[in-house]
Amino acid sequence: MNEDGFIPLNWSELSEDQMKSRALELFKLMDKRRTTRHFSTRDVPRELIEKAIRCGSTAPSGAHLQPWTFVAVSNADLKIKMREAAEKEERKTYSDRMPEAWQEVLEPLGTDAVKEHMTDAPWLVVLFRHSKRIRANGEAGPTYYSTESCGIAAGMFIHAIHNMGLVTLTHTPSPMGFLRDILNRPEHEHAMLVMPVGYPAEDAMVPDISRKSLEEIAVFFE
């Protein structure tokens, strides 16, 4: 292999016992993760949001293009504007757009068109996916696997938020074009997720639901 442009991998081997211990501790931590729509208005330092975004940006991406922009909003007036626009679209979705099959799976989760979390949470982090990039010659070029890349980045951001003791949820108002306009993003950036971040409200509730078992989600060939 041509080694130009490469550096040694920074990696340290762990014993099997260490690997098992780390794996169990991580699973225990993430198994406690729950999505809540009930947020405290308590402030969260910007530094924590920055660290979570940096963790998200360590995600692998197609051709290492890193086709994402995390837009973090704490400005109260801007959050109100985002909530009003989101609720306008959500009312249309819940009243006219949503098929019966979708309503069926949302019913146990207690969702509706009212989005208090968008103004209660101290931060709204919007993940924008890039559909284009600027090539070295100055022309626009495509990105590759941008949806998959951003999905991984979002997961790593959520992991970071939970690891530091905060909560978040993945909100997907549809359509989301209003977010590009409100947040003044370019045409090649497409809002993918709105993730409120903060402390849970003292009376926060979550649906009484369970995760699928390993047997339901995995197949092994040995």
Name the phi and psi angles at 196, rounded to 5: -65, 140
- Which has more pLDDT, 93 or 115? 115
Tell me, yes or no, whether 62 lies in a domain.
yes
Cβ neighbourhood burial of 172 (10 Å; 0-12, 13-18, 19+): exposed
Q: What is the CATH number of the domain that holds 104?
A: 3.40.109.10
127: number of Cβ within 10 Å = 23
pTM metric for this prediction: 0.92
pLDDT band, very low/low/confident/very high, at 200 (cuts 50, 70, 90) = very high
| Stretch (H or E) spanning 129 | strand 123-130
Give the C-alpha separation, 212 to 214, whole Å: 7
Tell me, yes or no, whether 94 lies in a domain.
yes
pLDDT of 101 reads: 83
SS3 92: helix
- Which has more pLDDT, 110 or 218? 218
Tens-digit pLDDT profile for residues 116-150? 999 999 999 999 999 999 899 989 999 999 999 99
SS3 142: strand
Q: Are 76 and 177 in contact (CB under 8 A)?
A: no
pLDDT of 106 reads: 75
pLDDT band, very low/low/confident/very high, at 107 (cuts 50, 70, 90) = confident
pLDDT of 102 reads: 64
pLDDT of 94 reads: 73
* Amino acid letter, 174: S
State yes or no: cis peptide before 186, omega within 30 of 0: no
pLDDT of 2 reads: 61
For the chain, percent of residues with pLDDT exceeding 70: 98
Of 222, 195, 200, nearest to 82 by C-alpha is 195
Tell me, yes or no, whether 102 lies in a domain.
yes
Q: What is the mean pLDDT of residues 31-58?
A: 97
Tell me, yes or no, whether 99 lies in a domain.
yes
116 Cβ contact list (under 8 Å, min separation 6): 37, 38, 39
Out of 97-101, 109-113, 136-140, 174-178, give the one with best mean pLDDT: 136-140
Instruction: Copy the structure tokens of residue 208.
Output: 């009484």
Tell me, yes or no, whether 88 lies in a domain.
yes
Tell me, yes or no, whether 163 lies in a domain.
yes
Tens-digit pLDDT profile for residues 148-158? 999 999 999 99
Beta-ladder partners of 195: 125
Domain count, the chain: 1
Give the C-alpha separation, 137 to 34, whole Å: 46
Tell me, yes or no, whether 69 lies in a domain.
yes
CA dihedral defined by 57, 61, 65, 69, rounded to 10 degrees? -40
pLDDT of 1 reads: 54
19 Cβ contact list (under 8 Å, min separation 6): none
Domain interval for residue 107: 45-200
Tell me, yes or no, whether 4 lies in a domain.
no
